[in-house]
Structure 1
Amino acid sequence: MLEQCPGVRNAFSTREGGVSQGIWSTMNLSYTRGDDPEHVTENYRRFAAAAGFRTEDIVSSDQTHTTNVRHVTEKDRGSGITREREFHDTDGLITDTPGVVLATYYADCVPLYFVDPVHRAIGLSHSGWRGTVHRMGAATIEAMRETFGTNPSDLLTAIGPSICQDCYEVSEDVIEQFAAAFPAELHNTLYYRKPNGRYQLNLWEANRRILLESGVPAAQIQMPNLCTCCNPTALFSHRATQGKRGNLAAFLWITATATETK
């Protein structure tokens, strides 16, 4: 669906094509998981070359389970990749600057992509269970509305590769927070209780409902068809590897040619 918007490109990494070894093999894109930094830098170089952008154009987020969203611009290029990031505790990024490549990180959590074709603006957010409870998707849409004038009904959105309900077992304390955050009529859709007293949680549907509540039309929400935990040889999964893993990354950017007639 995002490909329907001229001048906007997106990408999502896999484990393949990099130089990292061991638990990080091979395309680890995290400098914070204990991997050799030189390997991570080479992985970025390879991925950027394949995707069609420069590493110095990337602006990366944190992965701290907040609902903080930052508007990034030309001055932020390279943040977290080729130079020190000047902002922290930020799980969502928005921009209307062509050539600035937004990047957020995953290993089961939910990537949320946003494209506003009317205002030529984009957003990319990381939403784990905490971010979902606190409606990271809605926070990103509100930031785009305040910054760019985005109308949610214009947005093209996508929920990226992440953990599916069949793989995502959680405890009762997590479910209590979802029960408080979502209407009672949705509870049976979002989770179910197992005989062992634990629950299977559907982050995909929870995030879809948040986008719908925010005014995004159902036809403009692309759902994932790939579970990170079901595919641990191709994708990093925290659950599948008991935390012994690297990080995947989502990328979203506006090409320079897209805004020549803006």
Structure 2
Amino acid sequence: MEPFVQKKEQFFLIEQWMKHTLKLQVGFTTRNGGNSAPPYASFNMGYHVGDLEERVTLNRKLLAKELSFPLATWIGTEQIHDAHIQKVTSEDAGKGSVDLHSAIKGIDGIYTTEKNILLTSLYADCVPLYFYSAKGLVGLAHAGWRGTVKQIGVKMLNHWIEKENVAIEDIQIAIGPCISSQAYEVNTTVIEAVDACFEGGSKEHLYQKLAEDKYLLNLRAVNKQLLFNNGVQDSQVIESKLCTANDNRLYSHRFEGGKTGRMMSFIGLRD
């Protein structure tokens, strides 16, 4: 069953998490129902792609109203395809919410223990990772192939366990819409980096060789297996089957030749 349920033209929600607490808001935007013109049509969330800034701001204001999380409570990051994690607080509120330059630099993963903050992250094929604990923590990680092989998901897990004293069994993880293995062709360099994460372990289900220097990679499966290898149980993970390259509700950097908009993952707890 697909855990990301479309509730409005503009976004999906993870209802099976939200039904446990009315205080949680968590989901993923679509490309539809916004103000941006082609090739960013129409609900583009990214300031960095070449869209008109005022249109992106209008789109974000629309989402803020729908989610009842004002833009002044949003936090965004630079996203450099690395694996650095940062804890954020109310002092960071507003960073990256209405412009690019104020986003938190050099970071692809954020989490908080505070209420009334909306964590945000941007996508157009990479893997969105969501983290939630009933102990009052929420987190997001942006996992392109580089962040994946640097184990950004595992690093978030370890931050919560080691720095926040959260038991591993109390952590829920969602893997959001991303490019599927059928659409994600990579070269040997990428596969060698994946292999290095699984020395001595089975890798057959993670990629398929097509020809010399050509492979189809299941990036969401790599992220999930890394979590499993570090003690997460299958019951703790939910996984979207939506493919960004094969769903006209979503943007795809690869399918659209690199000129397109960005979806946004979001998660926050209210008082």
Letter in 2 for 1:217: Q
CA contact (8 A) 1:109 1:129 kept: yes
The C-alpha deviation readout for 1:60-86, integer Å capped at 9, x for no partner, is 022211111111101111101146536
How far 1:196 moved relative to its partner?
5.3
Structure richer in strand, relative to its length: 2
User: Is 1:237 equivalent to 2:252 in the alignment?
Assistant: yes
- CA RMSD across the alignment: 1.4
CA contact (8 A) 1:11 1:51 kept: no
Counterparts of 1:79-94 in structure 2 under 5 Å?
79-82=95-98, 85=102, 87-94=104-111
- Ranges in structure 2 where 5+ consecutive residues have no aligned partner: 1-15
Q: TM-score, normalised by structure 1?
A: 0.93
User: Is 1:40 equivalent to 2:56 in the alignment?
Assistant: yes
Matched residue of 2:221: which SS?
helix
The C-alpha deviation readout for 1:180-209, integer Å capped at 9, x for no partner, is 111343221111111354000011111111
Aligned to 2:154: 138
- Ranges in structure 1 where 5+ consecutive residues have no aligned partner: 257-262
Q: Tell me the distance in 1 between the aligned counterparts of 2:147 and 2:213.
A: 24
How far 1:220 moved relative to its partner?
1.2
Aligned to 2:137: 121
Aligned to 2:4: none
Q: Tell me the distance in 2 between the aligned counterparts of 1:220 and 1:182.
A: 21
CA contact (8 A) 1:67 1:139 kept: yes
Matched residue of 1:226: which SS?
coil
Aligned to 2:223: 207
User: Is 1:170 equivalent to 2:215 in the alignment?
Assistant: no
CA contact (8 A) 1:2 1:158 kept: no
CA contact (8 A) 2:75 2:103 kept: no
Quickly say closer, same or farther: Cα 1:230–1:86, change in 2 above 3 A. Answer: closer
How far 1:9 moved relative to its partner?
1.7
Q: Tell me the distance in 2 between the aligned counterparts of 1:21 and 1:41.
A: 14
CA contact (8 A) 2:125 2:244 kept: yes
- Which one of 103, 111, 125 corresponds to residue 128 of structure 2? 111
Quickly say closer, same or farther: Cα 1:39–1:10, change in 2 above 3 A. Answer: same
Q: TM-score, normalised by structure 2?
A: 0.90
Matched residue of 1:32: which SS?
helix
Q: Tell me the distance in 1 between the aligned counterparts of 2:202 and 2:180.
A: 17
Quickly say closer, same or farther: Cα 1:85–1:5, change in 2 above 3 A. Answer: farther
Aligned to 1:247: 262
Q: Tell me the distance in 2 between the aligned counterparts of 1:96 and 1:74.
A: 10
Runs in 1 of length 4+ with deviation above 4 angstroms? none
Q: How many residues align?
A: 254
The C-alpha deviation readout for 1:1-43, integer Å capped at 9, x for no partner, is 4224312220200001110001111011111111100000000
Q: Tell me the distance in 2 between the aligned counterparts of 1:107 and 1:195.
A: 26
How far 1:130 moved relative to its partner?
0.6
Matched residue of 1:94: which SS?
strand
Q: Tell me the distance in 1 between the aligned counterparts of 2:112 and 2:170.
A: 16
Aligned to 1:19: 35
Letter in 1 for 2:156: T
- Which one of 74, 79, 101 corresponds to residue 90 of structure 2? 74
Matched residue of 2:192: which SS?
helix
Q: Tell me the distance in 2 between the aligned counterparts of 1:157 and 1:86.
A: 24
Aligned to 2:67: 51
